[in-house]
Chain A
C-alpha cells in the first residue's frame, strides 16, 4: 500500500507540470495531500501510535479540506482568471520535472543505503515533490501558484519526515501545522493586498524594486 501511495504521489506531482489552470493545480495539491495523509495513517496503523493518527487527521483536515477551501474562497473574492500563466510551456516543464526526478533519485541514494529500499524510494519521491514545488514557484506567473508550489514543497518535507522511525516529535508536528495554517492565512492576505493595489496577482510584474 505504501508503494502505491508513493507511486500516486509521484504521478500527481509529475502531472502538475502539465497543469495550466488554477482549479486543476488545487485539485492536484488536494490529491497529493490526501496520499500523504494516507501514508501517515498507514504508518499509524502499523506502529500503533495515537500521535500519528492525530497527525494524519490534521494533514487531512488542513491540507485536503481547509486550505483548498480557503484558496477557493480567495480566488472567488479577487476574481482573478484561472490561468496560472506559464513562463515555460507544458512540454518543457514536463521534461525539466523529469530531470528533477533523476536528481531526486540520485540524492536519495546518497542519503539512504540500498537495503532500505522503501526509505530510499520515500526520500526520492519526497525530494522530487520538493523540487517540483520549487520549480512551480519559479515557472508560474501567478502569486497563487507560488503559494501552492510552496505548500507542495512542504508536502515533500512532510513526506521525508515519514522515513524517521515514529515520525517527528509530536509537539513539533503540531507546531508545524499551526505554522502552516498561519502562513497560509498571511499569504492569502498579501495576495488580497497585491490584487487591491496592483489590480492583478501577476508576480512577474512586481518589479518596482531593483538594484
Chain B
C-alpha cells in the first residue's frame, strides 16, 4: 500500500516536472511576463524557481519510495504515519510551488509562512527528543523571523500608500512606483525583509535553526528544505531587492547582500571544519552555498547574477543527491554521527560511489556543474574589481573543500562499521529502482550542466538576470 502510494506520488511529480519544464521553456526562455487577476504573476525568475522546485520534488518523490518503505521495515514509523508523510510531502511541495507564482507580497509572506508550518511536522516526523527539539526551534526562530519580515511588508505598503495613495501589495505596482517611494522608509523596511526572510533563507547569523532542522528531518525532506525552501525565501528577498535598488540605488541592497553572504560563508567554514554529524555537515554546506549565492547577488554584475542563479539550481541538485546518500547511510548505520560511520563505499557500494561523486560536485570539482557557477562567481568578483571578495571566496572555498574531503574520506573509506540500532539484517543494502532513478536524474544535471549549458537555460537565466537588474 505505502509503496504503491509512493510510486503514484512519484508519477504525479514526474507529470508536474514535465509541466514545469514546459512552463520554464515558454515563460523563461520566451521572456514572457504573465499575470492573472493581478494576484498571480510569473516571469523568467518565477519559472526558473518553479523548475528547480519541480526537479527536487520529483527526485525526492522517487527517493521517498524506498526510503519510507525501509523506515517501515525498520519499524521507525507506522503505516499510518507513512501515509501521513505523503500528505505532508505534497502540501509542502504545493506551498513551495505557490511562492514564485504570487504577485501579492502579503500572500507571498503567507505562502512562505505556510512552508514553515507544514515542514515543521516533517522535521519533527520521527517524534524523538532530537526531532521535536529541532522542530520547535525551527518553528520559533522562523516564526520570529517571518514576523519581522511582515513588519517590513507593512512598511513597504505604508511607503507606497503615502507616496501614491495606492492601497496595494502587488510587486508589479510596487516596482512601477519605486522611484516615488521614500528612500528612508524603504531602506528601513528592507532591513526587516532581509533579516526576516534571511532567517528562513539560512543566512548567517540568523541560521541557527537550519542545522537542527535539516539534520532531523526525513532525508528526502532535508533535500527539499535545502534545495528549495531556502531558495523560496531568497526569492522573496530578491523581489524586494529589485524595488529597493530602483528606489534608493543598488549599492545599499547589494552591500547588505555581500556582507550577509560573506558572513554566511565564514561561519559555515568554521562549523564544517569542526562538524561531527553527517547531516549537520550538509546543512552547514547549505549555509555556505546560500552565502555564495548572496555574494553573487551582492556583486550585481550580469555575470555574477547569472552565476548566482545557476548556482541556485546546481546547489539544489547536488545537495539533494547528498541528502539522499546521507539518508541511506543513516538508515544502514542507525546514526548520523561521523565518528561512528566509515567504510560506506564497501557497505553500500552504489550509495558510496554516488556520495563520492556528490562530494566532488559540492566542492566544485570539474566537470561538475557547481564548478561552472563558482567559476562565474569568483571571476566576476575579480572582473568587478572586488579583489578582496574574490580572494576571500577562493580562500574559504579551498578550506571548506578540504574539510569536506577530510570528513567524507573518513565516511567513505576504511573498514565498514555498521553499529547501533537498527541491525543490519533488516536493512537491504541493494538499491531500489526508485533510488537508481533519483540518483541518475540528479547526476544527469550535475554532470550535464558542468559540460554544457543549453541555450534555453542560458536565455532563461539572462532574462531572469535582466529582471534582477531592473532592466
Contact = CB atoms under 8 A, between A and B. Distances in A.
A175 B277 CA distance: 39
A169 B167 contact: yes
Interface in B134-159: 134-137, 139-140, 143-144, 147-148, 150-151, 154-155, 157-158
B136 A157 contact: no
A188 B128 CA distance: 17
Contact of A183 (B143, B184, B275, B277): B143
A153 to B, nearest CB: 5
Interface in A114-148: 130, 134, 137, 143, 146
A50 interface: no
B367 interface: no
Contacts of A137: 140, 144
Interface residues of A, number: 40
Given A160-B154, A164-B154, A168-B169, A150 B147 contact: yes
B154 A172 contact: no
Interface stretch (A21-29, A65-73, A83-91, A202-210): A202-210
B48 to A, nearest CB: 26
A161 interface: yes
Contact of B150 (A110, A157, A163): A157
A165 interface: yes
B184 to A, nearest CB: 7
B18 interface: no
A190 B188 CA distance: 34
B113 interface: yes
Interface stretch (B26-34, B103-111, B298-306, B421-429): B103-111
Interface in A168-211: 168-169, 171-172, 175-176, 179, 182-183, 186-187, 190, 193-194, 197-198, 203, 206, 208-209, 211
A210 to B, nearest CB: 9
Interface in B119-134: 120-121, 124, 127-130, 132-134
A154 interface: yes
B147 A154 contact: yes
Contacts of A179: 110, 113-114, 117
A169 B121 CA distance: 30
Contacts of B188: 107, 110-111
Interface in B27-45: none
B115 to A, nearest CB: 12
Given A111-B188, A130-B151, A153-B144, A211 B136 contact: no
Contacts of B106: 168-169, 172, 175-176
Contacts, number: 121
B144 A209 contact: no
Is chain B's binding surface mostly helix, strand, loop or mixed?
A: helix
B140 A206 contact: no
Contact of A186 (B117, B168, B277): B117
A111 to B, nearest CB: 5
B133 A193 contact: no
Contacts of A171: 107
Contact of A111 (B128, B143, B184): B184
Contact of A150 (B130, B136, B143): B143
B151 A157 contact: yes
A187 B139 contact: yes
A169 to B, nearest CB: 6
Contacts of B121: 186
A164 B157 contact: yes
Nearest to B185: A111
B161 interface: yes
Interface string A71-114: 00000000000000000000000000000000000010011000
B130 A208 contact: yes
Contacts of B107: 171-172, 175
B288 interface: no
Given A111-B185, A150-B140, A179-B113, A193 B132 contact: yes
Contacts of A211: 211, 271, 274-277, 280
B246 interface: no
A41 to B, nearest CB: 19
Contacts of A190: 120, 124, 132, 135-136, 139
B176 to A, nearest CB: 17
Contact of B212 (A134, A175, A209): A209
B215 interface: yes
Contact of B120 (A110, A176, A186): A186
B140 A146 contact: yes
Contacts of A209: 130, 133-134, 137, 211-212, 215-216
Given A150-B143, A150-B147, A208 B154 contact: no
B184 A172 contact: no
Contacts of B148: 130
Contacts of A156: 151
A111 B150 contact: no
A123 to B, nearest CB: 9
A186 B142 CA distance: 14
Contacts of B120: 186, 190
Nearest to A149: B144
8 contacts: A137-B140, A164-B154, A166-B161, A172-B106, A176-B106, A194-B132, A211-B274, A211-B276
- Closest 4 CB pairs between A and B? A172-B106, A206-B133, A209-B212, A175-B110
Given A111-B188, A168-B154, 5 more contacts: A172-B107, A186-B117, A186-B121, A186-B139, A198-B132
